[in-house]
Amino acid sequence: MSFKEITPQQAWEMVQQGAVLADIRDDARFTHSHPKGAFHLTNQSFLQFEELVDFDSPSIVSCQPGVSSKDVATCIVEQGYETVCSSVGGFYGGWLAELTIDTAYEG
């Protein structure tokens, strides 16, 4: 089994239906801004991810440009997760415009 690459529109639709959005960007970028409700997935938080996300729950892995998310999606699949996707283009691939963003600044 492998992960599936999806378009920004498909990612948005999955989030609306309850898919877990895993943001794998570094701490600084995640703290600065991230989609509301996104799980900050890091090496240190993976055990928490496993506790929160069922193996059959759909999840979307996304990074800044959409490259590293493919490696992480592969690792998640190897752990036994069944429906794992990587958004083509990452957070800046066009679908962030549809999400509510939590920011560390006012503006």
Catalytic residue among 15, 19, 53, 63: 63
| 93 burial level (CB within 10 Å; 0-12, 13-18, 19+) | middle
Residue 63 falls in the annotated catalytic set: yes
Whole-number Cα distances in Å, 10 to 30, 47, 49, 86, 104: 22, 27, 22, 10, 28
Active site residues: 63
